[in-house]
């Protein structure tokens, strides 16, 4: 597994890098092909935050945690990702097709102005890949989000699937 470590305003020593690579190597048994993992490390106030994203083909697994040390946060992320893998392994093999491009995420934190009441908008952009609503729901659940924007393979429209309060799913599509 190819591992990329991004540290934001944090210095990372070799011991932590070795620990991260060792923890991620246990997922090699789940990914027979080439998989890549991105680990983002940052410090928020007095807590340390770890975000781990593993992708193979068109499948994303993601975990994030904030804890008193990077190693404790990493352990929680690994548990969350392992649970996602086990939960979705059989569904993924049946539904996901090979050789589909995965959305490439780019994130930016953009301040709106310099006044005291400022806030930041976190923006993500990605390439829409054609998929069925069922695949979009599966991808949404893998990312642990409440909605997912996708290009509907059947109609060619940009649609949104979302999780309802009654644990069913809804889909928003443009009116023709």
Helix (H/G/I), strand (E/B), else coil: 84: helix
The per-residue pLDDT for range 36-47, each reduced to its tens digit, is: 899 999 988 888
* Residue 116 clears pLDDT 90, i.e. is over it: no
Phi/psi of residue 175, nearest 5 degrees: -80, 140
**What is the Cα–Cα distance from 62 to 77, expressed in whole angstroms?**
8
The per-residue pLDDT for range 130-153, each reduced to its tens digit, is: 899 998 898 888 888 899 999 999
State which of 37, 69, 102 marks the end of a domain.
Answer: 102
131 and 158 part of one domain: yes
41 and 120 part of one domain: no
* Residue 91 clears pLDDT 70, i.e. is over it: no
**What is the Cα–Cα distance from 123 to 106, expressed in whole angstroms?**
8
Read off the pLDDT of each residue in 37-63 and give the average, rounded to a whole number: 87
Which of 56, 47, 54, 51 shows the shortest CA–CA distance to 77? 51
Pull the structure tokens for residue 43: 């410090």
122 and 85 part of one domain: no
Residues 8 and 42 sit within 8 Å (Cβ to Cβ): yes
Residues 129 and 138 sit within 8 Å (Cβ to Cβ): no
Q: How many CA atoms lie within 13 A of 80 on its CB side?
A: 22
pTM, 2 dp: 0.55
130 and 155 part of one domain: yes
98 and 122 part of one domain: no
* Residue 101 clears pLDDT 60, i.e. is over it: no
98 and 110 part of one domain: no
């Amino acid at each position: 597994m190819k591992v990329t470590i991004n540290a934001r305003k944090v210095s990372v020593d070799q011991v932590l890098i070795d620990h991260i690579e060792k923890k991620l190597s246990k997922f090699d048994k789940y990914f027979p092909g080439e998989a890549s993992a991105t680990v983002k490390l940052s410090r928020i106030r007095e807590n340390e935050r770890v975000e781990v994203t593993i992708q193979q083909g068109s499948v994303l697994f993601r975990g994030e945690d904030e804890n008193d040390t990077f190693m404790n946060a990493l352990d929680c992320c690994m548990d969350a990702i392992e649970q996602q893998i086990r939960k979705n392994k059989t569904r993924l093999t049946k539904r996901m097709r090979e050789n589909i491009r995965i959305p490439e995420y780019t994130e930016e934190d953009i301040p709106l102005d310099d006044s005291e009441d400022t806030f930041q908008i976190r923006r993500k952009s990605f390439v829409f890949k054609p998929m069925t609503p069922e695949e979009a729901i599966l991808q949404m659940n893998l990312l642990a989000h409440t909605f997912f924007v996708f290009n509907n393979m059947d109609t060619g429209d940009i649609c949104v699937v979302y999780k309802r309060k009654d644990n069913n799913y809804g889909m928003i599509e443009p009116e023709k």
